[in-house]
Amino acid sequence: MFIRSSSKTINRRPNRWPLLLCMLLVWSPASLADARGASTQTAAPVVKETTPSVVNISVYARVKQDNPLYNDPVFREFFDIPKQLEKEVQATGSGVIVDAERGYVLTANHVVAQISKAQVTTKDGRKFDAKLVGRDPATDIAVLQLQGPKGSLKAIPMGDSDKIEVGDFVIAIGNPFGLGQTVTSGIISALGRTGLGKQGYEDFIQTDASINPGNSGGALVSFSGQLIGINTAIISPAGGNVGIGFAVPINMARRVMEQLVRYGEVRRGQIGISIRDLAAAMASKEGYQGALIGEVVGGAPAENAGLQKGDIVKSVDGTPIRSASQLRNIIGLTPLGSRMELRFDRNGMSRNALVEVGPAKAPVRRTADQSERARY
């Protein structure tokens, strides 16, 4: 029997209990929760878990005044002005707690350049003075250490940036325009971006998650809640976000951090080769990738390990090599004295070599037809 719309029909005794039973099934809280869970997609759990690890950084620095009148001795004497004037400036950026016990914070180098003092504010409003452990302009990575009691700090787990893929969903967390902690989302747009002229060692993750001024040093987080990059740069004609942001891969940032914590600086080495990207015809052959050795320095670690001019490096310690810049980054960030296992092709045959990283020396002279002739 169907239910009619008249109140008289609905209130007839034979139909009351089936109707009430239907209403209870439809409107029970459990059913609503199930319906919401099936239809609602949210990043809230990841955001709740990771945002306590992202901090705001206020930097105070002293910079030299640039007015040419200050170089005029008559002007300085008349106005009783010292030879060099400095002024204190304040800037804001972001950072990520990666070691709660020791209070280590990863950030971008340009956030703390020329630092005289820094103050770090956590999401729950606590403020810490921060000491500069070390910085590396070549990768735009720096490490701060929070001072004082560090109870209940929360560090974000580091992921593996070698395993991320274009199209993965990501979250960017930082302090854009000094507004306070802000979360944006997007996808990974590209990997291995180089040639931006931002830093000396480039292997950027590109994302369309909004990254604006003040986001620098903040976290790029996977949807599994792991730190995969440190936000560092944007491409923008007007200084705002246009959907092209960049982050330093966490694997690179981790290697830099390890040396900064240990030495206060990055001690780069080389194995004595010059490298360049594969020719377009070779690179397009069934997705063939690697880095071509253009020269091997006599007596260098590479020659001692058996590498030769024309060898194509395919992987280092199991990590596939897709470009000369990637190989350059790996060599440059491997501690002195460490050994790297290189897999390379020679005349179509695959071979392996164990190479020890030695101290850096002067670069090889460049020639007109060699775009990657520096020695690594």
For 76, the 3-state DSSP assignment is helix
Contact 226, 272 (CB under 8 A): no
Minimum mean pLDDT range among 194-203, 206-215, 256-265: 194-203
Residue 366 has pLDDT above 50, yes or no: no
Model pLDDT, residue 116? 74
Tokens of 124: 């729950």
Q: pLDDT digit string (tens) for 45-84?
A: 898 899 999 999 988 776 665 555 555 554 445 545 555 5
Which of 211, 228, 143 is closest to 177 using CA atoms?
Answer: 211
Residue 234 has pLDDT above 80, yes or no: no
Tokens of 65: 């005044």
Angle between helices 16-27 and 29-39 (to 10 degrees): 50
The tokens 């770090």 sit on which residue? Answer: 120
Model pLDDT, residue 268? 84
Task: Tell me the C-alpha distance between 233 and 108, whole Å.
Answer: 9
In terms of pLDDT, which residue wins out, 311 or 243? 311
Task: Tell me the C-alpha distance between 209 and 223, whole Å.
Answer: 13
Exactly one of 216, 222, 274, 323 is catalytic; name it.
216
Contact 193, 204 (CB under 8 A): yes
Model pLDDT, residue 233? 74
For residue 247, what is the enclosing H or E element?
strand 245-249
The CATH number of the structural domain formed by 52-146 is 2.40.10.10
Which of 167, 342, 195 is closest to 271 using CA atoms?
Answer: 342
160 catalytic per annotation: no
Tell the CATH superfamily of the 161-263 domain: Trypsin-like serine proteases (2.40.10.10)
- Cross-strand partners of 171: 185, 221
Tell the CATH superfamily of the 269-359 domain: PDZ domain (2.30.42.10)
136 catalytic per annotation: no
Task: Tell me the C-alpha distance between 164 and 184, whole Å.
Answer: 19
Amino acid in position 170? V
Q: Mean pLDDT across the stretch 202-219? A: 86
Exactly one of 53, 136, 140, 274 is catalytic; name it.
140
Q: Mean pLDDT across the stretch 108-130? A: 88
Q: Give, in degrees to the nearest 5, the angle at Cα 283 between 277 and 289.
A: 75
Model pLDDT, residue 72? 54
SS (H, E, C) 281-314: HHHCHHHCCCEEEEEECCCCHHHHCCCCCCCEEE
Domains 52-146 and 269-359 in one fold: no
Which of 362, 364, 313 is closest to 340 using CA atoms?
Answer: 313
Model pLDDT, residue 282? 65
What are the residue boundaries of the structural domains of the chain, listed by start?
52-146, 161-263, 269-359
* Residue 362 pLDDT grade (very low, low, confident, very high; cuts 50, 70, 90): very low
224 catalytic per annotation: no
Q: How far apart are the first and last CA of the chain?
A: 85
Quote helix, strand, coil % in the chain, to nearest 5. 25, 35, 40
Task: Tell me the C-alpha distance between 132 and 150, whole Å.
Answer: 17
Exactly one of 110, 136, 222, 311 is catalytic; name it.
110
Cβ neighbours of residue 355 closer than 8 Å, sequence gap 6 or more: 271, 301, 302, 305, 307, 339, 340, 341, 342
Which of 164, 166, 131, 132 is closest to 147 using CA atoms?
Answer: 131
Percentage of residues in the chain having pLDDT higher than 70: 71
